[in-house]
Amino acid sequence: MPQLGLLCRKAWAAALLSQLVRPPHAVSIRTVGGHSQIAEAVLTSQLKPREEKPNFVIKVPKGTRDLSPQQMVVREKILDTVVSCFKRHGAKGLDTPAFELKDMLTEKSEENFGLMYDLKDQGGELLSLRYDLTVPFARYLAMNKLKKMKRYQVGKVWRRESPAIVQGRYREFCQCDFDIAGQFDPMIPDAECLKIICEILSGLQLGDFLIKVNDRRIVDGMFAVCGVPESKFRTICASMDKLDKMSWKDVRHEMVVKKGLAPEVADRIGDYVQCHGGISLLEEMFQDPRLSQSKQALEGLRDLKLLFEYLTLFGIAEKISFDLSLARGLDYYTGVIYEAVLLKPAAQAGVESLNVGSVAAGGRYDDLVATFDPKGYKVPCVGLSIGVERIFYIVEQKMKTLGEKVRTSETQVFVATPQKNFLRERLKIIAELWDAGIKAEMLYKENPKLLTQLHYCEDMGIPLVVIIGEQEQKEGTLKLRSVASREEVAIKRENLVAEIQKQLSLS
């Protein structure tokens, strides 16, 4: 599945800003004192290249970023919600290599052809980094001659978007895909895909959302009856796909001026792309004098009608909008297509710059697997992709506005001492805790100050402290301190683990 839509300029600016928090630094040339011979050896070899380029800069590649521990916590929460939903629907996990033979990826999608990261030819195969998880999935099915599979995959994909034309996208980003492959009765898997999108977006509590639905056959049928020359179908479809970022006026201008479409043809398309609604609009289109002339369009309309029936049984019909302006960029779609957008997203959080376009999308692609299969054996597929990067951005912004602080570690107990020379005792205690499966930390100092230790607990949000000192050692006890209430109780040394487990179960 493709990455979805765009961040608005504001969002992009914010994203940029967060990057600029860590500006690159020029590295000067100097040796580092006090290291061993070998370090010397390493270092000299390492510093050599610097001499050649004195204004060497520390940065990550353009369009990529590190995820800090704070960001990782948010990311993990989102992925948990997504993956647990995929598993709730019986999906199996799959992993494929980060790169594929270039042949496997090229020409599966005109859209992405130019965006691929190729690996350098270092003697051997010609390789490219995957730009989505759909093509590798299709390759996997064909390679293993699988006729059906319900799989999910979470992984990074890479696209050399030119930031000039595509703002707010990262060149490395994470995708979460769910796909159902196999020959089944119409619209049953398709309906489940839409149900999954609803479950995930509700589960993530991103505010109200809407899923636009259309069908590639309706789009092509519409083009045909409006008088678009077949040779222009794809390029006009690509223009139409920009309707979520551009006004119809601008899209029309592109169609007529850039792509040489007759104005009256463009205007006929214009009449249709204004239309969106529910089952009523569907009925209307069945009666539409022009559209009803297209066999393809009627097939699409019939399937959408059945789809809406199933969506009603799933109780999600009111979340779905039949939208004739929805085109979806990718070439490989052959049937139902959909795209989820947030409605005044997260407004309640008072966050402004959150118009991030679509947060989930997908569709049916019945012919992709056949292009890999020696005998051209068809394995119909339908799937969806969750725009985690978008969602991640929204959740992050929300948390910033609400001033929510995330814990970056899960440590439950800290082992402290108020006196000197208790390192060995602390080591014995913490080993006991680890061996009991309790998440525990201590400072890596022989004789740390008690205040330093207690501050660490408050900074890190560690709830419990075990304290060992001279008095405790004499009495064969330990102090158990609650960081929040600052209460302290004495416990028997031998009851350490039991007492802590009790405390943790209470909190």
* Helix intervals (H) in 362-495: 388-402, 423-435, 450-460, 470-475
* 279 touches a copy of itself by CB under 8 A: no
Nearest-approach distance from CB 138 to a copy of itself, in angstroms: 10
Nearest-approach distance from CB 178 to a copy of itself, in angstroms: 13
* 156 touches a copy of itself by CB under 8 A: yes
Match 């994909």 to its residue by tokens.
Answer: 157
Interface with a copy of itself in residues 199-218 (CB under 8 A)? 199, 216-217
* 431 touches a copy of itself by CB under 8 A: yes
Distance of alpha carbon 315 from alpha carbon 322, whole angstroms? 16
The DSSP symbol for 57 reads B
Spell out the residues 6+ positions from residue 121 whose beta carbon is closer than 8 angstroms to its own: none
Nearest-approach distance from CB 236 to a copy of itself, in angstroms: 12
Backbone angles phi, psi at 105, to 5 degrees: -100, -35
* 296 touches a copy of itself by CB under 8 A: yes
* 92 touches a copy of itself by CB under 8 A: yes
For a copy of itself, the closer CB: 401 or 432: 432
Match 């190729």 to its residue by tokens.
Answer: 118
Spell out the residues 6+ positions from residue 466 whose beta carbon is closer than 8 angstroms to its own: 413, 414, 415, 416, 429, 433, 478, 479, 480, 481, 496, 500
Spell out the residues 6+ positions from residue 202 whose beta carbon is closer than 8 angstroms to its own: none
Cβ atoms of 382 and 334 within 8 Å: the answer is no
Nearest-approach distance from CB 214 to a copy of itself, in angstroms: 13
Nearest-approach distance from CB 210 to a copy of itself, in angstroms: 19
Token couple for 355? 């118009």
Which one of residues 10, 19, 54, 64 is an interface residue with a copy of itself (CB under 8 A)? Answer: 64
For a copy of itself, the closer CB: 46 or 495: 46
* 241 touches a copy of itself by CB under 8 A: no
Interface with a copy of itself in residues 181-200 (CB under 8 A)? 182, 184-185, 188-189, 191-192, 195, 199
For a copy of itself, the closer CB: 263 or 376: 376
Nearest-approach distance from CB 125 to a copy of itself, in angstroms: 6
Find the part of the chain contacting a copy of itself (CB under 8 A) among 7-15, 205-213, 229-237, 476-484.
Answer: 229-237
* 79 touches a copy of itself by CB under 8 A: no
For a copy of itself, the closer CB: 234 or 253: 234
Token couple for 292? 């009803």
Which one of residues 49, 289, 350, 403 is an interface residue with a copy of itself (CB under 8 A)? Answer: 49
**What is the full DSSP assignment across 374-390?**
TT-----EEEEEE-HHH
Q: How many residues does the chain have?
A: 507
In sequence order, the β-bridge partners of residue 92 are: 151
Spell out the residues 6+ positions from residue 213 whose beta carbon is closer than 8 angstroms to its own: 194, 304, 307, 320, 321, 322, 323, 326, 336, 337, 338
Find the part of the chain contacting a copy of itself (CB under 8 A) among 180-188, 354-362, 392-400, 488-496.
Answer: 180-188
User: From the CB of residue 205, how many other CB atoms can be counted at a distance below 10 Å?
Assistant: 10
For a copy of itself, the closer CB: 296 or 397: 296
The beta-carbon contacts of 278-281 under 8 Å, at least 24 apart in sequence, are: 278/308, 278/317, 278/320, 278/321, 278/322, 279/305, 279/308, 279/317, 279/322, 281/322
For a copy of itself, the closer CB: 169 or 346: 169
User: From the CB of residue 339, how many other CB atoms can be counted at a distance below 10 Å?
Assistant: 27
Interface with a copy of itself in residues 301-360 (CB under 8 A)? 310, 313-315, 331-334
Which one of residues 42, 257, 489, 498 is an interface residue with a copy of itself (CB under 8 A)? Answer: 42
Q: How many CA atoms lie within 13 A of 474 on its CB side?
A: 3
* 493 touches a copy of itself by CB under 8 A: no
* 28 touches a copy of itself by CB under 8 A: yes
* 476 touches a copy of itself by CB under 8 A: no
Angle at alpha carbon of residue 296, lines to 314 and 2, rounded to 5°: 60
Residue type for position 11: A
Which one of residues 427, 484, 490, 498 is an interface residue with a copy of itself (CB under 8 A)? Answer: 427
Find the part of the chain contacting a copy of itself (CB under 8 A) among 10-18, 114-122, 275-283, 470-478.
Answer: 114-122
* 121 touches a copy of itself by CB under 8 A: yes
Residue type for position 388: V
* 501 touches a copy of itself by CB under 8 A: no
* 180 touches a copy of itself by CB under 8 A: yes
* 27 touches a copy of itself by CB under 8 A: yes
Distance of alpha carbon 219 from alpha carbon 291, whole angstroms? 10
Cβ atoms of 319 and 210 within 8 Å: the answer is yes
Find the part of the chain contacting a copy of itself (CB under 8 A) among 6-14, 39-47, 238-246, 494-502.
Answer: 39-47
* 260 touches a copy of itself by CB under 8 A: no
Nearest-approach distance from CB 237 to a copy of itself, in angstroms: 8
* 60 touches a copy of itself by CB under 8 A: yes
Interface with a copy of itself in residues 377-406 (CB under 8 A)? 378
Token couple for 314? 């799933």
Which one of residues 17, 30, 403, 476 is an interface residue with a copy of itself (CB under 8 A)? Answer: 30
Burial of 452 (0-12, 13-18, 19+ CB in 10 A): exposed
Which one of residues 251, 342, 356, 438 is an interface residue with a copy of itself (CB under 8 A)? Answer: 438
